[in-house]
Amino acid sequence: MTYNRVILTMTGLALAAALLLNFITFQPNRIAPGQEISLLTAAGLPATLLLMALLGLMAALSWRPSRDRYLTLLLLTTLTLIGLPLAVASYAHQHLPADMPYARVGLGSGFWCMGVFLALLVVETSQRLAQQYRLVGMQWLVTAATVIGLWLLGHSGALDRLSLLQEYSQRQAKFAAELQTHLLLAGAAVLIALLCGIVLAIAAQASVRLRQPLFQLLNLLQTIPSLALFGLLMVPLSYLAAHSPLLQALNVRGIGWAPALIALVGYSLLPITRNTFVALQEVPAQVLDAARGMGMAPMQIFLAVRLPLALPVIIEGIRITLIQAIGLTSVAALIGAGGLGTFIFQGLGQAAMDLVLLGAIPTIVLALLADVLLGLLTRLCHREPTP
């Protein structure tokens, strides 16, 4: 039997999620417990049967997959991804009472599970098309079509009673400010760690005696829990800020951006330093000998030979570090540093899960974007120049 097991598994899991898990929840207000509603109740029998038929057809396309079947599968997956929020909008339009202005519809576990399984289906199908048929960019095409479809739904007002969008509409200005703070903290931490990490990696390569204690110290920083490190930084920063007018002018305190930035830089040093050190070490010795034989100075060898050859591995370290920093910046909201974690912890304190999602979903999206973009940059650096 010739079939794609990943496609068959993902469609089966999506079908199980559609039938066994709640699709949406009805909430009379933002903090009241929601009433779980199945897909059959929310979308009706015809739409449920249509979804089951689409998933069944996707599973059938896993048999003896070909270029046309993969393309058909991508089309069906895109339609299904757009159809899921359309079913939510249809239920909200028909069933939410007009005399309950605070009533809203939340997304249930079945909705999220189906979305994840369908997204994995897109990744698998796109990779097959790229590897076997040289059709690259299909994943981006599906993503763009899905985003445009969701934007059109949101712009039309069909999703206005969705709980997640109501949380966003009430906090648009604050969301933009916290998103900017999140990006600044994570970006500044990675940039500072990159500059320091390159210097430390060069020093570790030049001095064998420095190498072991340096990496032991960086490993130790990684083992300290983030909240514990934030707590350790509060007391010295509070003392220094109280006795330094310059630090007071910079708004450095025991809480806020300063301890968050220092902690993020500390956590970011190890992956960047280690990757840079390994990358510089793995430059072939014969290439360096050839550069010296050409009369190149040590700085010329570093900038023109060693650094370009080591760049893909260095970028990989930056990718790991940036993803880690984006996630850890959310925790920094606990010490008043701001960022998207503000919504996460406010939502946990108020038992408002959609407020939690307002902070969690953009954080995940940022991490995925960092992974994709820096992964693409790594592949471009690995690509050999054409003659």
The answer to whether the CB of 360 falls within 8 A of the CB of 347 is: no
Q: What token pair was written down for 341?
A: 């974690």
pLDDT-derived band at 387 (thresholds 50, 70, 90) equals: very low
| 104-107 and 24-27 strand pairing | antiparallel
* pLDDT, position 385: 45
* pLDDT, position 383: 61
Q: Which residues sit opposite 27 in a β-bridge?
A: 104
Does the pLDDT at position 235 exceed 80? Answer: yes
| 24-27 and 35-37 strand pairing | antiparallel
Q: What is the mean pLDDT of residues 27-47?
A: 84
Q: Is 86 exposed, middle or buried (0-12, 13-18, 19+ CB in 10 A)?
A: middle
Residue type, 187: G
pLDDT-derived band at 142 (thresholds 50, 70, 90) equals: confident
The helix or strand, by DSSP H or E, that contains position 328, with its residue range, turns out to be helix 307-331
The helix or strand, by DSSP H or E, that contains position 144, with its residue range, turns out to be helix 138-155
- Residues near 82 by beta carbon (within 8 Å), at least 6 away in sequence: 145, 146, 149, 150, 153
CA 382 – CA 31 distance, rounded (Å): 51
Does the pLDDT at position 45 exceed 50? Answer: yes
pLDDT-derived band at 237 (thresholds 50, 70, 90) equals: confident
Q: What is the mean pLDDT of residues 318-330?
A: 93
| CATH 3.40.50.720 assigned to 172-382 | no
Domain with CATH 1.10.3720.10 in the chain: 172-382
- Of residues 379 and 336, the one with the higher pLDDT is 336
Helices (H), 29-66: 39-60
Residue type, 115: G
- Mean pLDDT value across the chain: 87
Instruction: Report pLDDT digits (tens) over 283-298.
Output: 888 888 888 888 888 8
Instruction: Report pLDDT digits (tens) over 178-225.
Output: 999 999 999 999 999 999 999 999 999 888 888 989 999 999 888 888
* pLDDT, position 326: 95
